[in-house]
Amino acid sequence: MRQALSEVSPARRLTQATIAAAAMAVVILFAIVLPIEYGIDPLHTGRALGLVRPADALDGRAVEANVDDAMTPSKTGPAVRYGAPYRVDSTAFELGPYEYLEYKYHLAEGASLLYSWEASALLIHDLHGAPDAGGGRGTEVSHDKQNRTRASGSLVAPFAGMHGWYWENPGGTPVTIRLTSAGFYTTAIETRSNRTRRTHEVEPASLPPVNGAR
Domains and CATH numbers, the chain: 2-47 (no CATH), 55-207 (2.60.120.680)
Interior/surface letters 26-61, b for 16+ CB within 10 angstroms, e for the rest: eeeebbbebbeeeeebeeebbbeeebbbbbbbebbe
**106-140 per-position pLDDT tens digit:** 999 999 999 999 999 999 999 999 998 754 445 88
Percent of the chain past pLDDT 90, that is, above it, reads 50
pLDDT of residue 5: 43
pLDDT(40) > 90: no
DSSP secondary-structure letter at 72? S
pTM of the model: 0.66
83 CB-near residues (< 8 Å, 6+ apart)? 69, 70, 71, 74
For 42-79, how does the pLDDT look when each residue is reduced to its tens digit (9 = 90+)?
Answer: 555 555 555 544 444 444 444 443 445 788 999 888 88
Amino acid at site 208: P
Higher pLDDT, 199 or 207: 199
